[in-house]
């Protein structure tokens, strides 16, 4: 049996960056269920936020993040995020990430809900791809062992501590155990739960399911961020049209050409994502359409093509010249704010088990993530994970500045007759009943169907069946949390409880019974 100091599960920026730091301390194995480049990171167009500009400060970044989080941010975690940001940006530059510059200085742009320009980019709208390629190249040149097409299926425990990981070789169907001192889950989010998503196919909630089944705490699952603007064309998968397009002056128009956002909020197109996404949904219903349009034709064409080369090229490939015509868009599932509950050092409630990136919930995002804070969260807290492992093997208490309520999944009886369990039906159920606009009735129906599906699930034997099991479990956690939270806050909106309630300024935490 192979033994390592660190096992990273996942090969996005969280897994790669943490692995590169860990190799300076001990032996490292990366387990990834696809190829090393199969991840969500490379789809991150918007950039990475950091308070490094002349008119910016950690305090200003702190306030913007807290405001976006709608009362549920962990202030301690946010302080860490903004104060350590400049040093972590320096680390990325040392690794070779080619951030865009103007006259020798890093170029900064503004996105919605940021009070000043503080978004760093690489290759215009290809920031995630540049970071991913840079880090994966360094990993391949290093002593880090990478096992591709190996799906982690169980976290192995002994005496209440992490002992290792069981993984399935997706090519041979054989399972093997790998022992270690520390396991770091960096498996990404769960965007594939929804019919329309900007996520890649790998985002199936694997880390959340692994951690929950091992006894780790899962929190804030009801807070899923829907990006307001993804391409909506027949036969074309949703493609993210970055927040930065509106930050650069893009205007939203309905099918009749009317600019509607000022009717919903004084901040118009620069309102927080949840407000823009819901406004688009309401406008689509009002006009009987499945899309609205993003207009950048008033912006100089050279600025559009140089600032958004990937978006421009993608649209051109599908017959759209965005410098001359409107971009058809609609909301799509984008980012999970909740996940595996960790403290300020990335630790779970299980000794030796850590989580980083979108699968983790550090408390930084609260109820609604501030744009471009996600990549920053990865590098700040991944560094802290490795720093923590250098100290000792003890678990620090999971801190938090907001009250928590602990729950176990309700043992629902389920329904006698339910739709067939398959991926399209799961995605449609979550989109229709647990999507941008929710209701108690719809959530209850979804919860009963998911409980029935979970009882019908056969023992998984390959990657698709393991992923389906993980998605059903993640969907149950999300739906039950949304049903418990009888208010609207941040990205969670219920028609039957349409206002925030001070009684619900607390976190919902699930742990296996």
Q: Is it true that 227-333 and 403-510 share their CATH fold?
A: no
Closest Cα partner for 7 from 148, 207, 181, 153?
181
Helix, coil or strand: residue 182: strand
Segment 134-144 shows an average pLDDT of 92
Half-sphere exposure in the Cβ direction for 191 (13 Å, CA): 28
Query: In whole angstroms, what is the distance from residue 102 CA to residue 159 CA?
Result: 55
Query: How many CB atoms neighbour CB 471 within 10 A?
Result: 25
CB distance 281 to 329 below 8 Å:
no
Instruction: Give the residue extent of every domain in the chain.
Output: 1-223+337-402, 227-333, 403-510
Query: What pLDDT, on the 0 to 100 scale, is given for residue 45?
Result: 54
Of the listed ranges 239-243, 372-376, 470-474, the one predicted with least confidence: 239-243
Query: In whole angstroms, what is the distance from residue 37 CA to residue 360 CA?
Result: 20
Query: In whole angstroms, what is the distance from residue 52 CA to residue 101 CA?
Result: 13
Query: What pLDDT, on the 0 to 100 scale, is given for residue 412?
Result: 84
Considering the four listed CATH numbers 3.30.830.10, 3.50.50.60, 3.40.50.720, 3.30.750.24, the one that applies to the domain covering 1-223+337-402 is 3.50.50.60
**DSSP state, 497?**
B
CB distance 124 to 247 below 8 Å:
no
Q: Which pLDDT band holds residue 179 (cuts at 50, 70, 90)?
A: very high
The torsion angles phi and psi of 152, rounded to 5 degrees, stand at -70, 125
More confident residue, 250 or 39: 250
User: Tell me: the pLDDT tens digits for 369-393?
Assistant: 998 999 999 999 999 999 999 986 5
pTM of the full structure: 0.93
Helix, coil or strand: residue 67: helix
Q: Which pLDDT band holds residue 46 (cuts at 50, 70, 90)?
A: low
Query: What pLDDT, on the 0 to 100 scale, is given for residue 35?
Result: 85
Query: In whole angstroms, what is the distance from residue 50 CA to residue 82 CA?
Result: 7
CB distance 191 to 334 below 8 Å:
yes
Query: What pLDDT, on the 0 to 100 scale, is given for residue 307?
Result: 87
Please name the fold of domain 227-333. Answer: Flavocytochrome C3; Chain A, domain 1 (3.90.700)
User: Tell me: the pLDDT tens digits for 13-27?
Assistant: 999 999 999 999 999
Q: Which helix (H) or strand (E) holds 134?
A: helix 127-140
Burial state string for 148-181 with b = 16 or more CB within 10 A and e = fewer than 16: bbbbbbebebeeeebbbbebbebeeeeeeebebb
Query: What pLDDT, on the 0 to 100 scale, is given for residue 126?
Result: 77
Segment 416-438 shows an average pLDDT of 95
CATH number of 403-510: 1.20.58.100
CB distance 425 to 419 below 8 Å:
yes
Interior angle at CA 423, CA 213 and CA 474, nearest 5? 25
Query: In whole angstroms, what is the distance from residue 153 CA to residue 163 CA?
Result: 14
β partners of residue 508:
405
Closest Cα partner for 393 from 213, 216, 159, 185?
159
Instruction: Please list the alpha-helical segments (H only) found in 259-372.
Output: 261-264, 273-287, 301-307, 309-317
Known catalytic residues are 273
Q: How far is CA 149 from CA 34, 129, 354, 461, 506, in A?
A: 4, 20, 22, 14, 39
Query: What pLDDT, on the 0 to 100 scale, is given for residue 42?
Result: 47
Q: Which pLDDT band holds residue 478 (cuts at 50, 70, 90)?
A: very high
Is residue 470 scored above 90 in pLDDT? yes
Query: In whole angstroms, what is the distance from residue 282 CA to residue 274 CA?
Result: 12
Q: Which helix (H) or strand (E) holds 15?
A: helix 13-22
Q: Which pLDDT band holds residue 39 (cuts at 50, 70, 90)?
A: low
Q: Which pLDDT band holds residue 396 (cuts at 50, 70, 90)?
A: low
Query: What pLDDT, on the 0 to 100 scale, is given for residue 482?
Result: 98
Closest Cα partner for 249 from 109, 102, 127, 119?
109
Segment 177-198 shows an average pLDDT of 96
CB distance 33 to 8 below 8 Å:
no
For residue 105, what are the contacts with CB-CB under 8 A and spacing of at least 6? none
221-226-232-235 Cα dihedral, nearest 10 degrees: -20
Query: What pLDDT, on the 0 to 100 scale, is given for residue 64?
Result: 96
The 3-class secondary structure across 226-244, one letter per residue, is: EEEEEECECCECCCECCHH
Q: How far is CA 167 from CA 22, 240, 260, 512, in A?
A: 21, 32, 50, 22
Segment 55-64 shows an average pLDDT of 97
Pairing outcome for strands 292-295 and 251-253: antiparallel
Mean pLDDT, the chain, rounded, equals: 93
CB distance 337 to 491 below 8 Å:
yes
Name the E strands within 171-249: 175-185, 218-219, 224-231
Instruction: Please list the alpha-helical segments (H only) found in 392-508.
Output: 423-433, 440-456, 463-484
Q: How far is CA 371 from CA 190, 321, 385, in A?
A: 18, 26, 23
Query: In whole angstroms, what is the distance from residue 113 CA to residue 273 CA?
Result: 9
Query: In whole angstroms, what is the distance from residue 478 CA to residue 339 CA?
Result: 10
Q: Which helix (H) or strand (E) holds 295?
A: strand 292-295
Among left, alpha and beta (phi > 0; psi -120 to 50; other), residue 164 is: left
Q: Which pLDDT band holds residue 104 (cuts at 50, 70, 90)?
A: confident
Helix, coil or strand: residue 156: strand
């Amino acid at each position: 049996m192979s033994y390592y100091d660190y096992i990273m599960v996942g090969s996005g920026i969280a897994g790669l960056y943490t692995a590169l730091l860990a190799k300076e301390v001990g032996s490292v194995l990366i387990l990834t269920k696809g190829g090393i480049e199969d991840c969500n990171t490379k789809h991150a167009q918007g950039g990475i936020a950091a308070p490094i500009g002349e008119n910016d400060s950690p305090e200003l970044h702190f306030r913007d993040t807290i405001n976006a989080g709608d009362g549920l941010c962990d202030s301690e975690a946010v302080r860490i995020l903004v104060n350590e940001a400049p040093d972590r940006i320096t680390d990325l530059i040392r690794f070779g990430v080619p951030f865009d510059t103007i006259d020798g200085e890093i170029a900064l742009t503004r996105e919605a809900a940021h009070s000043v320009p503080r978004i760093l980019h690489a290759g215009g709208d290809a920031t995630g791809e540049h970071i991913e390629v840079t880090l994966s190249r360094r990993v391949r040149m290093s002593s880090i062992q990478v096992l591709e097409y190996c799906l982690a299926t169980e976290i192995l425990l002994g005496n209440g501590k992490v002992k290792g990981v069981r993984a399935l070789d997706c090519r041979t169907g054989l399972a093997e155990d790998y022992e270690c001192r520390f396991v770091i889950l960096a498996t990404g989010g769960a965007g594939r739960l929804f019919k329309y998503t900007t996520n890649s196919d790998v985002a199936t909630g694997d880390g959340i399911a692994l951690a929950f089944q091992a006894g780790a705490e899962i929190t804030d699952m009801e807070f899923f961020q829907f990006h307001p603007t993804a391409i909506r064309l027949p036969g074309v998968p949703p493609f993210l049209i970055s927040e930065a397009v509106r930050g650069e002056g893009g205007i939203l128009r309905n099918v009749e050409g009317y600019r509607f956002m000022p009717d919903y909020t004084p901040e118009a197109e620069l309102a927080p994502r949840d407000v823009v996404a819901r406004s688009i949904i309401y406008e689509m219903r009002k006009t009987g359409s499945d899309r609205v349009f993003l207009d950048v034709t008033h912006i100089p064409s050279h600025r559009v093509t140089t600032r958004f080369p990937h978006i421009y090229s993608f649209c051109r490939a599908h017959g759209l010249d965005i410098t001359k015509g409107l971009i058809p868009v609609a909301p799509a599932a984008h980012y999970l704010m909740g996940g595996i509950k960790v403290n300020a050092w990335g630790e779970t409630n299980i000794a030796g088990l850590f989580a980083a990136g979108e699968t983790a919930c550090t408390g930084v995002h609260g109820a609604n993530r501030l744009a471009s804070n996600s990549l920053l969260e990865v590098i700040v807290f991944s560094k802290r994970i490795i720093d923590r492992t250098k100290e000792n093997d003890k678990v620090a208490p999971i801190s938090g500045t907001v009250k928590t309520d602990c729950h176990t999944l309700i043992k629902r009886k389920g329904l006698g007759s339910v739709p067939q369990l398959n991926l399209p039906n799961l995605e449609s159920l979550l989109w229709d009943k647990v999507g941008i606009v929710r209701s108690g009735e719809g959530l209850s129906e979804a919860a009963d169907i998911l409980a029935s599906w979970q009882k019908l699930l056969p023992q998984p034997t390959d990657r698709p069946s393991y992923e389906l099991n993980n998605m059903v479990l993640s969907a149950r956690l999300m739906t039950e949390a949304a049903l418990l939270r009888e208010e609207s806050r941040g990205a969670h909106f219920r028609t039957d409880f349409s206002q925030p309630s001070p009684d619900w300024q607390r976190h919902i935490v699930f742990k296996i019974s």
